[in-house]
Amino acid sequence: MGDVFPTIKAAVVQAASILYDREKTLDKAVALIEEAAGQGAQLVAFSESFIPGYPYHLWLGAPVWYRDLFKEWFLNSVEIPSKTTDILCNVARTNNIDVVMGVSEREGNTCYNTLIFINRLGKLLGKHRKIMPTHAERAHWGLGNGSDIKTWDFDEYRLSGLLCWEHSMDLMRHAMIAQHPQIHVASWVGGGAMALWDDIFEMTSELCSRYHAHVGECFVLKADGTLDQAGYEKLCQTEYQKDKIKLGGGKSAIIAPGGKYLAEPLKDREGIIIADLDLNTIADWAHLHDAVGHYARPDLLSLLTNTGEYHVTRPMIERSNNYFSGVYSSNTNNLEKLTADIERLSTDFTNLQSTLQERLTVANQ
């Protein structure tokens, strides 16, 4: 009979945040999770920085203009863990649904563009921080690190997630695909609300998401945000902003392995789209290519990844008394091995000296 994989009913939420109100947006998220679960969804995905809302203002003026908006957004960003994440975990457990949520995470005085992963048991599995904020975003978000390059094992499937223009970073995508996720969450801002580059953004997000489904041979939940009237009015404080942003944005969709739509794009409005993900259909592409398997040439082309966690401070480690060791005394195994190697080399050198001396003696006779 062979292996039989499950079919997962997945939902993508396209909704406007209540800018920049963490508690009200959290209440809205809870209601949307409950609504998705009520329609039978086992997994639900949200857009980039849904809580407390994407910082659209950073594209709409100079820092001196958006200073107050930044402060409001910063103070409403989400600490992990916190009461906010506890509530999300509780609603996931109560409704028996896996949740992937985009938040602006705050740690100390720095925020990060983050996805959090919660299983249906209400456990916070972990998070992914965007490794490189895009363009003006670097004024608001710090950098993720190597520990963010990972996938997550849920009860019935393996899932990955990337944020927005990370999907244009081919090496990042390849590092994720190499971990063989069956479902991928592509979490985007509602870039179509940006009046000056709405067409370019929508084209890019669609191409990147569908290409990821094709090369990664996985299902892609493309979760976009959108901007409502209240958000528009909050951002448009002068005529200058009114020329730069508009209502709507968002083109969420659910994409099958290979790149075809399972659920057609939902454009410029709020809603929930749902589709059944038959994980067995991934095998239909196995004979065609596997970019990280039989259709790869690691002997010619390979990717080096640093999956270590970045720390601002590190403790000073006392060096070994052995000046020649070149290693730290805390690493006993390496020190013992190096000491043994030095002793072996010393013996070899002594033997070589003896041999040379004997040959010189013979040559001089």
CA distance 78 to 88: 12
Amino acid at 149: I
Residues 6+ apart with CB under 8 A from 116: 80, 85, 88, 99, 100, 101, 103, 124, 126, 127
48 catalytic? Reply is yes
- Does residue 166 contact residue 172 with C-beta atoms inside 8 Å? yes
The backbone torsions φ and ψ at residue 219, rounded to the nearest 5 degrees and listed phi first, read -80, 140
CA dihedral (325, 326, 329, 333) positive or negative: negative
Closest CA to 61 of 198, 191, 245: 245
DSSP letters of 58-107? GGSS-HHHHHHHHHHHHHTSB-SSSHHHHHHHHHHHHTT-EEEEEEEEEE
SS3 356: helix
Q: Catalytic residue, from 23, 34, 35, 48: name it.
A: 48
- Does residue 320 contact residue 327 with C-beta atoms inside 8 Å? yes
The backbone torsions φ and ψ at residue 346, rounded to the nearest 5 degrees and listed phi first, read -65, -40
Amino acid at 329: S
- Does residue 153 contact residue 119 with C-beta atoms inside 8 Å? no
Query: Active-site residues: which are they?
Result: 48
